[in-house]
Chain A
Amino acid sequence: MPLNSTRRHFLRQSSLIAMAPAIPAFLRPAAHASAKNNDERILVVVQLDGGNDGINTVVPFANDGYPQHRKELQLKTNRLAKVNDEVALHRSLRPLADLLDDVQFSIVQGVGYPNPNRSHDVSMAIWQTARFDRDDHKSFGWLGRAMDEHREANASGAADSVLLGTESPPVALRGRRSTSVSLAHLGDLKLRGKLTPKTPNVDPNDDLLAFARRASLDARGTAALIDEVAGSASRDGAPYPDTQLAGRLSSIAQLIKSGFSTRVYYAIQSGYDTHAGQLPSHSRLLNELGGALKAFQDDLNSAGLSDRILTLCFSEFGRRAAENASLGTDHGTAGPVFVMGSKATPTSPTRVTKAVFCGVSGQKFPLHLLLDYF
């Protein structure tokens, strides 16, 4: 059963819908969504922490330089997932190759910024703030600023952005006016035990108390909704691998399907700081990434939501072409960015675009993409 109809089913069943004009904040957008198509777009950002080796992710197998620079770390051509005659995906990303065929996945090659600083902190700060000046790095992020601009559109009370994970909230989400919350997991929205007693009848003269009682009922509805969507997710053919990233993306999908009006979700996969013995660890990381992204997209597709959701996947920098002496790679400059979703053609109709740099302002790529998207 498509999850959309689960939500509608719930709302139709729910006694809360009967309270129409007074319906509390959380369910309002969901009720709205069930009444007519909700066309608000949602951005999901997946941050690969540590500087992903782009060259062994989108592999330029046909380039003479590849075997020259990667004597030990060269990936076997016959096991790669070919994108075209020049480049191929690491075999661990094979699940994503299916999405390439369906034009739901786009690779933007060589994304970076001018005069790159190869420090993790500084590079990540530039990515997250879309600003070069170090003084600007502790203030507001590009998503936070973009959400500031869209503040009025989200009057429902839901946070403008949600980080799913236990990491500190990234600078990217900080805004001056917009709000961001972190959920370690959906358990944060689950009630331990039960709110045992039924609430007594509402006294019509007691407005605030009536509101509080209705809000409590609503909260129970939310808990039930999360449970219901969580329960049905396992039944409706969108299985996720048993990895941390997959779990986070699965939670994000559930929140979206539950009708939250949040426009930006964020998840972080760490571990890409591979300076030594890189091949097995990189393969494991990309395996987790590919499996999670594919499951997420399948889930959104089966819920009929893929038109509304764009997933952006980036890392603070790529690695140098030449391998180092300890079977790893050192900090480089630009790297590939993935964009996923049925509207995933942000820069060019061709699926692989070469050398799209941020531009002199340093803002072109992320802000340009986002502003176009919203």
Chain B
Amino acid sequence: MSSVICDAAVGSSNINRLKAWWLYRMLKTPNPLRERLTLAWHNHFATSNIKVQDVGMMRRQNDSLREHSAGRFEYLLRSMAHDPAVLVWLDADANRKEHPNENLAREIMELFTLGVGNYSEEDIKEAARALTGWTVKQGDFLNVAKRHDAGEKTIFGQTGKWNGDDFVTLLLEHSATPRRIAFRVCELLMGESTCEDSLVEELAVGLVEHDLDIGWAIETVLRSEAFFAAGNIRNRVLSPVEFIVGLIRCLEINSPLPSTLLLAETTANLGQDLFNPPNVFGWPGGRSWLTSRAIIGRANFASALINGELHSSRTPFDAAVLAERHNVGAEKLLPQVLLGSELPTGMKPLKKEPNQLVTAVLSSPEAFLG
């Protein structure tokens, strides 16, 4: 079903339909972690269709991100270095022997692997030369030999007749790369101050021993004491996509699902427009999700969802039915499921109005955190 929707979205050339497809996938998948990882890598290799303007390319990138999301970082990085959407986004086609364009070289180091401070301006210039010749033709990666600068380059102090793939190898061997992957994994799974530097460092060392296996890093964090520590509970701001997908899954609003096109519009209004990250840095995330507009938007979304306004049938959510399904009173089920705690005193007067209570719980600051 998911692939039918996806093919139709690509066929329509309408990026909004691809957004809706991905949300459908997140809502229905038996493997939510993989979708979260895919989203995290979409943020890491932040590519925007605003410039790419090709739904098919965005879908292929999304598939690659998913395929390699929990495998060895080498496969993920190599697939992104050859990814048509990335190359269009970072002006690879403008990088020719005579006039090197440094954008891809710069961002691959700053954002995809090493991070600022681990390379010089000279490294950027030389890496740009190594990357000359890479371009996109009719939607596919193409290496144009006559545009490639075949001379010697010195990158990170190592000299050779490096080409783009050699440069990627140098990046994979660089000590800053595992640290950055470790940081990304911790950022994804841990709360904002739970993730101590020593933990990131330890994870980075382990990553080197495990051939930069992302799956290993994820598993290690998920089994760690830190992950289960009290301080890691409700210590992360949920992104709009996590908030929306999480709520719908949690409230079991799945047959029928709300309109995923409307959901895609909502995530965009709340600050996370899929396939259109705001810039090369991806979404800034964390506390910056909680702008006034987004908080009002989250509360308004909760209200619309509970009132059934996101369904074509306009059927309101029935809190009583969900509570009955789980054999608990609504006043207990909801705060426990959504907040992991007792009902705050201020909400007690709403006990007799289950749907209002749900809306209030969903609009509360506690519901924005995970």
**Is B291 in contact with A208, judged by CB distance below 8 angstroms?**
no
Chain A residues within 8 Å of B356, by CB: 196
CA distance A327 to B295 in the complex (A): 52
Interface size, B (range): 35 or more
Cα distance A157–B288 in the bound complex, in angstroms:
7
Quick one: given A212-B365, A212-B368, are A178 and B300 in contact (CB under 8 Å)? no
Closest to A221 in B: B292
| Contact, CB under 8 Å: A211 / B279 | no
Alpha-carbon gap, A12 to B130, bound state (A):
59
CB distance B234 to A209 under 8 Å?
yes
Give CA–CA (A25, B345) in the complex, Å: 28
Closest residue to B103 on the A side, CB-wise? Answer: A176
Give which listed residue, B280, B304, B346, B366, contacts A212 with CB less than 8 A: B366
Q: How far is the CB of A279 from chain B (nearest CB, A)?
A: 38
Beta-carbon contacts under 8 Å, A177-235 to B = 177-179, 181, 188-193, 195-200, 207-209, 211-213, 215-216, 218-219, 221-223
Q: Are B346 and A176 in contact (CB under 8 A)?
A: no
- Does A195 contact B363, Cβ atoms closer than 8 Å? yes
Say yes or no for A138: interface residue by CB 8 A criterion.
Answer: yes
Say whether B53 contacts A197, CB under 8 Å.
no
* B369 → chain A closest CB, angstroms: 6
- Residues of B contacting A196 in the complex (Cβ-Cβ under 8 angstroms): 346-347, 350, 356, 360
Q: Say whether B50 contacts A219, CB under 8 Å.
A: no
Chain B interface SS verdict (over half): helix
For window 338-369 of chain B, which residues contact chain A by CB distance below 8 Å? 344-347, 349-350, 356, 360, 363-366, 368-369
Closest-CB distance, A266 to chain B (whole angstroms) = 16
A223 to B363 CA separation, bound complex (whole angstroms): 14
Does B314 make an interface contact (CB < 8 A)? no
B186 CB → nearest A CB, Å: 16
- State which residues 15-68 of A face B: CB under 8 Å: 24-26
A209 touches B366 (CB 8 A): yes
B303 within 8 A of A: yes
CB neighbours (8 Å) of B246 from chain A are none
Q: Are B360 and A197 in contact (CB under 8 A)?
A: yes
Judging by beta carbons under 8 Å apart, are A212 and B290 in contact?
A: yes
Determine whether A139 belongs to the interface, using a CB cutoff of 8 Å to chain B: yes
Kindly identify, within residues 170 to 202 of chain B, every residue whose CB is under 8 Å from any CB belonging to chain A.
191-193
Contact yes or no, A191 B300, CB < 8 A: yes
**Assuming the A-B contacts A208-B235, A216-B295, are A139 and B364 also in contact, with contact meaning beta carbons closer than 8 angstroms in the complex?**
no
B293 proximal to A (CB < 8 A): yes
Question: Which B residue's beta carbon lies closest to that of A178?
Answer: B279
Counting chain A CB atoms within 10 Å of each CB, the highest count among B191, B296, B366 belongs to B296
Interface of A is mostly: loop
Contact of A219 with B296 in the complex, beta carbons under 8 Å:
yes
In the complex, A295 Cα to B53 Cα: how many Å?
Answer: 38
Decide if A200 touches B300 in the complex (CB within 8 Å).
no
> Quick check: A190 and B278 within 8 Å, CB to CB?
no
Nearest CB in chain B to that of A199: its residue: B365
B156 interface residue, CB < 8 Å from A?
no
Per the bound structure, the CA–CA distance linking A128 and B356 in Å amounts to 46
Distance of A195 Cα from B360 Cα, bound (Å):
7
Given A138-B51, A199-B364, A209-B369, CB of A191 within 8 Å of CB of B299: yes
Contacts of B344 in A (CB 8 A): 197, 199-200
Given contacts A189-B292, A191-B300, contact A139 B346 (CB under 8 A): no
Q: Which residues of A contact B293 (CB under 8 A)?
A: 181, 188-189, 219, 222
Cα separation A222 to B300 with both chains bound (whole Å) = 14
Q: State how many angstroms separate the Cβ of B259 from the closest Cβ of chain A.
A: 17
User: Given the complex of chains A and B, what is the CA–CA distance between A190 and B303 in angstroms?
Assistant: 13
Please determine whether B292 and A222 come into contact, CB atoms closer than 8 angstroms.
Answer: yes
Q: How far is the CA of A203 from the CA of B344 in the complex (A)?
A: 13
Closest CB-CB distance, A254 to chain B, in whole Å? 14
Residue of B nearest to A211 (CB): B287
Would you call A174 an interface residue if the criterion is a C-beta within 8 Å of the partner chain's C-beta atoms?
yes
Contact B192 A26 (CB under 8 A): no
Name the residue on B nearest A207 (C-beta): B193
**A291 at the B interface (CB under 8 A):** no
Given contacts A177-B279, A195-B360, whether A219 and B368 have CB atoms under 8 Å apart is no
Of the A-B pairs whose beta carbons lie under 8 Å apart in the complex, a sample of 14, sorted by A's number, is A25-B292, A177-B279, A188-B269, A189-B293, A191-B296, A196-B346, A196-B350, A197-B360, A199-B346, A200-B346, A208-B236, A212-B366, A216-B295, A216-B365
- Residues in A lying within 8 Å of B, measured CB to CB: 24-26, 138-140, 157, 174-179, 181, 188-193, 195-200, 207-209, 211-213, 215-216, 218-219, 221-223
